[in-house]
Each structure stands twice: as C-alpha cells, then as structure tokens.
Structure 1
Amino acid sequence: MSRRRHAGAFLLTALLFGGTFVAVKAGLAYLPPLTFLAIRFDVGAVVLAGYAATRLSWSDLRPRTAGDVVAVLATGGLVVGLTNALLFVGQESTSSGVAAIVFSLNPILTVAAAAVLLPGRRPTRLGLLGTALGLVGVILVAGPTALLTGEAAGVPLLVGGAASIALGSVVIRWAEPTLSTTARTVWGVPLAALLSHGLAVAAGESLASVTLPPTALVAVAYVGVGSGAVAYLAYFALVDGVGPRRANLVFYAVPVVSTVGGWALLGERIGATALAGFAVVAAGFALLVAESVDRRRLQRLVYWHREGERAETRAEPRRAD
C-alpha cells in the first residue's frame, strides 16, 4: 500500500509541477514575476487554511521541537519561496522547456547536498550513472540547442532555484521534524507568500499595472491551487516517504510533462530527439530503481546476518547446560 501511495504522490507531483512551467510562461505575459508569484501563494495559502481549518487541529499544527521550526523555515523559505522566486524571474528570459531542463538538475544537486548533510547517504556508482543518464534524457526531450541560444539567459537564476529546492528538501530531512508534511506545508506556503510580497515591493513591482484576462486567471488558478497547494502536499509526502534524493527524481519526469503539455496546449511539436530523450530517461530510471533494489537487498542481508548472530549468542548458554 505504501508503494502505491508513493507512486501516486510521484505521478501527481510530476503532473502538477510539469504543468507549472507552461502556466507560468502564459501568466508572465500579463503579470510581473514576483507579483504573479505572490498572488499564487496568496491563493495557495487560502486553500491550505481552509483545509487546515476543517481537517487539522492546533495540536497537529503546533511546532514542538527546534527541528519543526527549522523544517517550516526550510519549507517556506527555500523549497517553496526562494525556489519559485528564482523560477518566475528566470523564466522571463527562458522557455518553459529550458526551465524544466535546469530544474532537472535537482536530483544531482540533492545527491550532493545529502552527501554533505546526511550521514550514510554516499551515492553509489550505479546511482550516479542513472542520475547522469536521466539528465541527458531530459536535455534531449527539451532540446539541447536551447542551452546555446538567448533562451538560456535566465539559466543562472534557474540553477539557483534548483539548488534551493535541493538544499531545502535535504535540510528538512536533516532536521527530523515531528510535524507532518501537511502541517509544514500549511505553515510554509503563507511564509512563502510573505517572502514573495516583500521581494515584489523591493523590486519595485506594482499591482496597478496588473491585468487579469481569462488566460491569466487560469494561470493563477493553476499555479495557486494545483501546483501551489496540492502539489506541495504530494511532494513533501514523497520526501518523507522515500527520502529527498529519491523524491527529487520527480524532476526528471517534469520536463516530459512540460513537453507533452506544450504539444497539447500550445501546439509545440515533439520531434525524434525528444522521443529519444524519453527512452534515455526511462533507462536512467531503470538504473536508479535497480540501485534502490540492491540497497534494500543489502540491508535485508545485513539484518538477517545480525539476527542470526544474536540467535546464536542466545543459544550458547543452553548448549553449555
């Protein structure tokens, strides 16, 4: 059952985050980036507040440990707030495909952060190979030439966003919070909204210039409710369930969703290179799954070996009698 829940959370996160890049690009035609982001989190905070009021108690929401406070700050400040601020500003000068490519660096950056902050998380050769292969695949899906054109002008900001979500997810794991993923998200999204409003004011953006035609309203609704509330609930549940390194593999699937969404909604074509990229991504996932299975088998072997030693130790006095 837990595997099904994890698979469901993975698919939901990939679909909602993948559509975000298309929705952000559409909304930026009408809204300045940080104001757009602030409105997104305002909508998400209202949705989550309604959910918390009907489904959670104060006991569920109250931070109890220093780890809880650190996890809430990492959620709102790094994983949700700063990550999206850099994404929205960076995507002004990049295509949605390029943005999705850069964010697919997330698993690699997560492996690096986990190796530094989490004990016993050193990557294996098979895991590194699968990660690298997945990165090659997503580059093929979105188009390698885009990285060499003017479309990639916002790439440094997007790299910073990918690093922010990777670091934040590892910090949450390191903090060992007692708060549930839902509670951390309920606290984190309003915190991200405050951060976004502050950045918008600092950047000199004004609501007076904002117009909201139907396309902009749809974009705000999608990024506010879908990828601003529901997706984060699914994503943080995945982080808690399988760990940040494996959870962030979802960002390999995100460019695939973005490419298909661009084809279906914006009339973008999927060429032979993109289809080859799908195959390479699948191969990378296969290696990472194999690495995960090998680790579980090794853990089981170590467990049963230790249990056997304990059984022999307990049996020795009876043999002496």
Structure 2
Amino acid sequence: MSSRRVLGLAVAASVLFGGTFVAVKAGLDYFPPLLFVALRFDIAAVALVGYVLATRSRADLLPRTRGDLVGIAATGLLAIGLTNALLFVGQQSATSAVAAIVFSLNPILTPVFAALLLSTERLSRRGAVGMAVGLLGVALVVDPDPAMLADGGLGKLILFAGAVTAAFGSVLIRWADSDLSSTVRVAWGLPLAAALTHGFSAAAGESAATVVWTVPGLLALAYVGILAGAVAYIAYFGLLDATGPIRANLVFYAVPAVSTLGGWALLDEAIPPTAVAGFLAIFAGFAVIGSESVDLGRLRPGYEPDVNHFEIDGEIRAFEAD
C-alpha cells in the first residue's frame, strides 16, 4: 500500500473517530448507552454489508481458514463490539475530554500485547520516544485539571477497560493473519458486534420506549453509525492491515486534538493556550515514528542505489546469477 494511501487512511480514521466522543456524549441524552451502540452497529452493518455485496465477488466474501474466523471474531466481538459498549457506558459519567484521554492510552497498551503475540511487532527505541512525545501532546491539547480527572472514577475505569480491549483486539486481528480483506472482515464482524451489544442492552434492562426521538439524537446516531462507523472502520482496519497494530493505533493520539478542534468549530468551546503546543508535539511524535521507514542515507548528496542487493523483511540479500 502506498504511503499516500496510508496517510489518507490515518487522517480519515483520526478525523472520524475524533468526532465520536462528542457525538456519543450528545446522543446519550436521547438513548440508553448500550441500545445506542447497538443501533450504531445495526446502521453500520447494513451500510457495509450492502457495500461489500455490491463490490465483492462471492469468493472474496467467504471465510475459509481458521485465521479468517478468528479475525472476524476479534473484529466484531473485541475491537468493535466490547470496546464500544465500554466506551458508551463509560461516557455516561465522564466528559468527552476525559474519554479521549483514556482512549489515547491505546497506543501504549498495544505494544504490550504485541510483544506477547506477535514476533514481528516490536516497539523500537525511536518508536518509544515518538510515542512519549505524542502522549505529551495529548496532555497539552486536552489540558486536564486534577478536578476534572478526579470525578467519574467508575466511568474512567470502564473507559480504560475499553482501551484495553481495543488494543488487544487489534493485535489479535494481526495475529490471526486472515486472508480476507479488512473491509470484508469488518462486514462480517459488525453483525456480531450488533448481536453482542443488543444482548448486553437486553440484559441491562434497557428499553426502546425510553428513547427520545429528536433531530439532534438522530444526527448523533447517523454520525456514529455511518461516518464514525462504516466509513471509519474501513479506514482504520485497512490501516491496521497495512501498518500493524502499533502504528495503526497511533491514530488515537490524534483523536483528542480532533475532538478539541471540533468542539471549538461546532460547539464554540475554547481551545486552551497549551493546545497549539500539543498539536505540534503530536505531529513531532508522528514524525519521529514515521522516520523509521525513511532511509536517511538516500537523502545525502551523491547517493546511488545498490542495484546488486535487495531487502526482504528487513534482511539484505544479493541477486544471484542464473
């Protein structure tokens, strides 16, 4: 996948996921939390299943290996279903800013699971530095005060559990090594996520009779179902397949920045003075991590490529004559 397309997927996932926290907080005024997330998955599933049926052949749609099945289960039950159920429930007692902070721990949690499950996924020293700079940027953007973080302790614990399941689910998807495309895998996973969260909603005693059908509520549902649902999932899981979970989950560092800008543009919320420095720190963290894939030697004057050698999986090999 070209670097331009990877960048496009990262930007799309960051922007669309960034609006999720604001839309969820707004929608919780009109929907019970678990029913809200279940309806989100209903809408996203209809949209994405219809899309893949129209654009993919039958051979491309059918899972054939154990890896395909594990990848579908990890996508629907963990990375999407349980993660979002915990997010929607946790945001009942936590602000959008706090939720964004907690979920920005996802990139820190991901290397822990990757070290256990993926022999090829390791966080380098440069990657650790970039990750630390990015996390500093998140703190500067949100500018949390102790009083804000002290409130809603249970909500933060639930949100942290959601960050854990998101990180573990993304690593498990990579470990499964599915042959299905990411879009098809998500199309299979969304009905599983919908069934799971409808079951949670029923078990919690939620009722559709308590839903307040209003234009703001419907707009929030449409956003989390279509834009932050079907479209964002195509972008994020495509990025996951292209770059691996450690790099893909870095989009959650940008989410608080997007949420802050969205609140300023749409809700007339003030941007703290430290936010600009935070935006720059997040960008610097991405630049440090991204520089690992750039051969700086190619930039020096007089550089000539070595036509007698090539690289496979980080190993330099020489061409051999027939």
TM-score, with structure 1 as normaliser: 0.91
Task: Report the equivalent of 2:65.
Answer: 65
Residue 319 of structure 1 is matched in structure 2 by none
Q: Is contact 1:34–1:89 with CA below 8 Å preserved after alignment?
A: yes
**Superposition RMSD in Å:** 2.2
Q: Which consecutive residues of structure 1, in runs of 5 or more, have no partner in the other structure?
A: 316-321
- Describe the shift of the 1:154–1:292 C-alpha distance in structure 2 as closer, same or farther (beyond 3 A): farther
2:301 is matched with none
Seq. identity, %: 56
- Mark the CA change 1:112 to 1:296 in structure 2 (over 3 Å): closer, same or farther: farther
Unaligned runs of 5+ residues in structure 2 are 299-305
Quick one: distance in 2 between partners of 1:246 and 1:255?
A: 17
Q: Which residue pairs with 2:234 in the alignment?
A: 233
| Conservation of the 8 A alpha-carbon contact between 1:104 and 1:254 | yes
**Matches of residues 131-170 of structure 1 in structure 2 within 5 Å?**
131-145=131-145, 148-151=149-152, 153-170=154-171
SS of 2:92's partner is helix
Amino acid across the alignment from 1:105? L
Separation in structure 1 between the aligned mates of residue 297 and residue 207 of structure 2, nearest angstrom: 53
Cα distance 1:296–1:47, how it changes in 2: closer, same or farther (>3 A)?
farther
Aligned residue identity for 2:311 = Y
- After superposition, the C-alpha distances for 1:239-269 in whole angstroms (9 at most, x for unaligned) are 1111111111111111111011111111110
Q: Does 1:96 align with 2:96?
A: yes
Instruction: Give the residue type in structure 2 aligned to 1:187.
Output: W
Alignment correspondent of 2:252: 251
What residue number does 1:4 align with?
A: 4
Aligned-pair CA distance for 1:34: 0.2
Are the counterparts in 1 of residues 138 and 278 from structure 2 also a CA contact under 8 Å?
Answer: yes
Aligned residue identity for 1:88:
F
Match of 1:130 in 2: 130
Moved more, 69-78 or 285-294: 285-294
Match of 2:44 in 1: 44
Contact 1:72 1:187 in 2 (8 A): yes
Amino acid at match of 1:110: T
**Cα distance in 1 between the residues matched to 2:158 and 2:257:** 21
Distance in 1 between the 2:297 and 2:115 partners?
19
Cα offset, 1:290, TM superposition: 2.3
Q: 1: CA distance between counterparts of 2:278 and 2:59?
A: 47
1:271, 1:153 → 2: CA distance?
26
Equivalent-residue separation in structure 2 for 1:296 and 1:19 (angstroms): 40
**What does residue 243 of structure 2 align with?**
242
Q: Aligned to 1:303, which of 308, 311, 314?
A: 311
Q: Deviations over 1:37-78 (max 9, x none)?
A: 011111111111221221123211110000000000000001
The answer to whether the Cα contact below 8 Å between 1:98 and 1:151 also exists between their aligned partners in 2 is no
For 1:162 and 1:4, the matched residues in 2 are separated by 28
Report how far residue 136 of structure 1 moved: 1.6
Counterpart residue identity of residue 244, structure 1: P
Distance 2:144 2:11 in 1: 25
Distance 1:302 1:245 in 2: 26
Q: Which is richer in helix?
A: 1
Residue of structure 1 in register with 2:303 after alignment: none
Deviation at 1:177, TM superposition (A): 0.4
Q: Offset of 1:306 from its aligned partner?
A: 4.3
Please identify, of 211-220 and 144-153, the stretch whose mean Cα deviation from structure 2 is larger: 144-153
After TM superposition, the structure 1 = structure 2 runs for residues 214-293 of structure 1, keeping only pairs within 5 Å, are 214-293=215-294
Q: How far apart are the structure 1 equivalents of 2:265 and 2:157?
A: 29
Q: Which amino acid aligns with 1:134?
A: G
Answer whether contact 1:76 1:192 (CA < 8 A) is retained: yes
SS in 1 for 2:119: coil
SS at 1:93's partner residue? coil
Q: Give yes or no for contact 1:98–1:152 (8 Å, CA) kept in 2.
A: no
**Cα deviation digits, residues 142-180 of structure 1 (max 9, x gap):** 122155331554111111111111111111111110111
1:55 aligns with 2:55: yes
Equivalent residue pairs, number: 310
State the match for 2:302 in structure 1. Answer: none
Change (3 A) 1:306 1:57: closer
CA distance in 2 between partners of 1:211 and 1:181 (Å) = 35
Q: Give TM-score, length-normalised by structure 2.
A: 0.91
Does the aligned pair in 1 maintain the 2:81–2:193 contact within 8 Å?
Answer: yes
Letter in 2 for 1:75: T
Q: Distance in 2 between matches of 1:46 and 1:274?
A: 38
Correspondence for 1:24? 24
Counterpart in the other structure of 1:318: none
| 1:204-245 alpha-carbon deviations (Å, 9 max, x no partner) | 111111111100000000001111111001111101111111
Deviation at 1:125, TM superposition (A): 1.6
Contact kept? 1:103, 1:251, Cα under 8 Å:
yes
